[in-house]
């Protein structure tokens, strides 16, 4: 066994071959490696370069439990595929679009590409906040002019914007989340250092306020009993529960945040899936929200842009920090420093998406996915499960009647070859539920339902 250290070559012959029992050989090896590392660390002040650097790990990263949810699901799916190479897996898992980008929107993207090929239309670095025309289009087409173009910050997606908002808020704020919720809110809060460790019993990070959302409260948190937080992440229509907050509920939320001096980060990524008349598509439909709320949004689910990447964040001018600094000033500072503007090609596509012809195409795409949601919901209802969501959101949230959601995930992967997402992946409040995504192609969705009817029959 030979190891190169920073100071030279250390060689060590180990009795690791021959007739010694395997565990004894492993013991020799491990003792010898520890000895070498220790000796090396003593002489150089740091550990061997082939093993590790001299850089201390960010302790906040160490607080995270396992990997990020969706790659973790992918890992389990791949492990199954490795053992069963002929498996025909259908994904009702990650909320990833599957239908092609429609013609008018695609033509916008193509124009964006062509523009790069001519001197007169070529552009390089753009404004970090997005091109003026797109900021104006977002303000007009999606916010009825309630929000001015200067309050729109165009980006490469809402997940990335949540990370950048966290960078702006820093590590001294307390964050609150709906429980269950999209895991990015909690994970980025942990990474920033806003929390202590996860409590093993409650499965909650110390330092985060978890606002339980379940069937018992119509998936809307009991605001009055919640501990005060600085930043409140609120997603409607909700991922994963599919619940969509009514105008009355959001009016309460805004008043509550104002009273407590909190800032709401409203995630409206699923706004176009709303079908109910009394459900607002934006927090700014609530009077006064511009003084308490930031809104993150994205074309990912609207227009099949999950891989194209185009989002935006609204930071109203009226929103201020405790010292009077406009939040938009600091957000702009982050965007100018840690972001360099969304792709000009993609912004051309977004402009087309928000023209009347593009909006009509979006409507059709969403109808298609909502057709899937109905098929999934009806199947689960037929099987006798209590089912939530699926009416104003592309997610169906199935009550497993006390069964562990990871167990159900594994069972369905193995018996039906259908990938789902265990509710526990979204926080302890999601345990006992399964999230089904409506983004599969129609035939795959129907085939998945045929298999689930067998696998989940009571």
Which residues contact ligand PGU (rule: CB under 6 A)? 70, 94-95, 157-159, 182, 184, 235, 239, 267, 269, 298, 300, 306, 311
Which residue has tokens 């990015």?
184
For the CB of residue 69, give the shortest distance to ligand PGU in the complex, in Å. Answer: 7
When the beta carbons of 307 and 324 are compared against ligand PGU, the nearer one is 307
Tokens of 413: 């992967």
When the beta carbons of 136 and 421 are compared against ligand PGU, the nearer one is 421
d(CA 206, CA 190): 10
For the CB of residue 304, give the shortest distance to ligand PGU in the complex, in Å. Answer: 11
| 257 CB-near residues (< 8 Å, 6+ apart) | 232, 263, 264, 292, 293
When the beta carbons of 158 and 392 are compared against ligand PGU, the nearer one is 158
For the CB of residue 343, give the shortest distance to ligand PGU in the complex, in Å. Answer: 14
When the beta carbons of 284 and 439 are compared against ligand PGU, the nearer one is 439
Dihedral through CA 55, CA 61, CA 67, CA 68, nearest 10? -120
For the CB of residue 364, give the shortest distance to ligand PGU in the complex, in Å. Answer: 20
Q: Which residues of 150-173 are buried (b: 16+ CB within 10 A; e: fewer)?
A: bbbbbbbbbbbbbbbbbebbeeeb
Tell me which H or E stretch contains 264: strand 263-267
Q: What is the DSSP string of 380-434?
A: HHHTT--EEE-SSSSEEEEE-TT--HHHHHHHHHHHT-EE-EEGGGG-GGGTTEE
When the beta carbons of 36 and 109 are compared against ligand PGU, the nearer one is 109
For the CB of residue 298, give the shortest distance to ligand PGU in the complex, in Å. Answer: 3
Tokens of 74: 């992918």
| 239 CB-near residues (< 8 Å, 6+ apart) | 95, 181, 182, 267, 269, 270, 393, 395, 426
When the beta carbons of 236 and 344 are compared against ligand PGU, the nearer one is 236
Helices 356-382 and 442-455: crossing angle in degrees, nearest 10, is: 10
Which residue has tokens 């289009």?
137
When the beta carbons of 158 and 372 are compared against ligand PGU, the nearer one is 158
For the CB of residue 34, give the shortest distance to ligand PGU in the complex, in Å. Answer: 39
> Which of 189, 299, 188, 181 shows the shortest CA–CA distance to 236?
181
When the beta carbons of 180 and 214 are compared against ligand PGU, the nearer one is 180
When the beta carbons of 195 and 239 are compared against ligand PGU, the nearer one is 239
When the beta carbons of 93 and 108 are compared against ligand PGU, the nearer one is 93
Cβ neighbour number for residue 259 with a 10 Å cutoff: 11
When the beta carbons of 387 and 438 are compared against ligand PGU, the nearer one is 438
Answer yes or no: are the C-beta atoms of 310 and 346 closer than 8 Å: yes
Give the CA diameter of the chain.
80
Tell me which H or E stretch contains 437: strand 433-437
Q: What's the sign of the alpha-carbon dihedral 354, 355, 356, 358? A: negative
Which neighbouring-strand residues pair with 421? 435
| 61 CB-near residues (< 8 Å, 6+ apart) | 191
For the CB of residue 318, give the shortest distance to ligand PGU in the complex, in Å. Answer: 24
For the CB of residue 11, give the shortest distance to ligand PGU in the complex, in Å. Answer: 47
For the CB of residue 47, give the shortest distance to ligand PGU in the complex, in Å. Answer: 34
For the CB of residue 192, give the shortest distance to ligand PGU in the complex, in Å. Answer: 17
Q: How far is CA 146 from CA 143, 232, 239, 302, 381, in A?
A: 5, 22, 26, 21, 40
For the CB of residue 352, give the shortest distance to ligand PGU in the complex, in Å. Answer: 18
């Amino acid at each position: 066994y030979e190891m190169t250290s920073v100071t030279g070559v250390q060689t060590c012959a180990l009795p690791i071959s021959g007739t010694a029992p395997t565990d004894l050989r492993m013991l020799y090896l491990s003792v010898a490696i520890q000895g070498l590392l220790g000796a090396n660390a003593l002489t150089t002040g740091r550990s061997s370069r082939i093993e590790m650097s001299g850089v201390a790990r960010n302790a906040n990263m160490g607080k995270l439990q396992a990997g990020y949810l969706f790659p973790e699901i992918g890992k389990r799916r791949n492990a199954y595929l490795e053992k069963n190479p002929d498996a025909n897996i259908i994904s009702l898992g990650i909320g990833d679009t599957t239908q092609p980008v429609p013609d008018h929107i695609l033509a916008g993207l193509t124009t964006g590409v062509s523009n790069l090929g001519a001197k007169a239309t070529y552009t390089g670095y753009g404004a970090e906040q997005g091109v003026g025309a797109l900021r104006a289009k977002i303000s007009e087409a999606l916010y009825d002019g309630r929000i001015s173009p200067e309050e729109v910050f165009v980006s490469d997606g809402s997940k990335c914007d949540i990370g950048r908002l966290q960078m702006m808020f820093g590590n001294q704020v307390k964050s609150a989340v709906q429980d269950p919720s999209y895991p990015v809110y909690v994970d980025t809060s942990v990474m920033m250092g806003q929390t202590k460790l996860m409590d093993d019993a409650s499965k909650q990070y110390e330092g985060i306020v978890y606002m339980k959302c379940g069937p018992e409260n119509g998936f809307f948190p009991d605001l009055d009993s919640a501990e005060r937080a600085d930043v409140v992440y609120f997603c409607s229509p909700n991922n994963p529960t599919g619940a969509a907050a009514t105008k009355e509920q959001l009016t309460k939320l805004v008043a509550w945040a104002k009273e407590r001096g909190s800032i709401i980060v409203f995630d409206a990524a699923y706004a176009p899936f709303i079908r109910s008349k009394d459900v607002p598509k934006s927090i700014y439909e609530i009077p006064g929200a511009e003084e308490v709320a930031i809104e993150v949004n994205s074309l990912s689910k609207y227009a099949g842009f999950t891989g194209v990447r185009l989002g935006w964040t609204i930071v109203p001018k009226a929103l201020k920090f405790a010292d009077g600094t406009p939040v938009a000033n600091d957000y702009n500072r982050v965007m100018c420093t840690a972001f360099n503007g969304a792709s000009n090609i993609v912004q051309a596509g977004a402009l087309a998406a928000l023209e009347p012809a593009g909006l009509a195409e979006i409507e059709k795409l969403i109808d298609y996915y909502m057709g899937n949601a109905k098929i999934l919901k009806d199947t689960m209802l037929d099987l006798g499960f209590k089912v939530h969501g699926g009416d104003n959101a592309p997610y169906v949230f199935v009550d497993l009647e006390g069964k562990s959601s990871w167990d159900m995930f594994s069972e369905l992967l193995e018996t039906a070859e259908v990938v789902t997402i265990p509710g526990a992946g979204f926080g302890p409040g999601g345990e006992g539920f399964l999230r089904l995504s409506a983004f599969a192609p129609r035939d795959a969705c129907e085939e998945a339902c045929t298999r689930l009817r067998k696998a989940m029959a009571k």
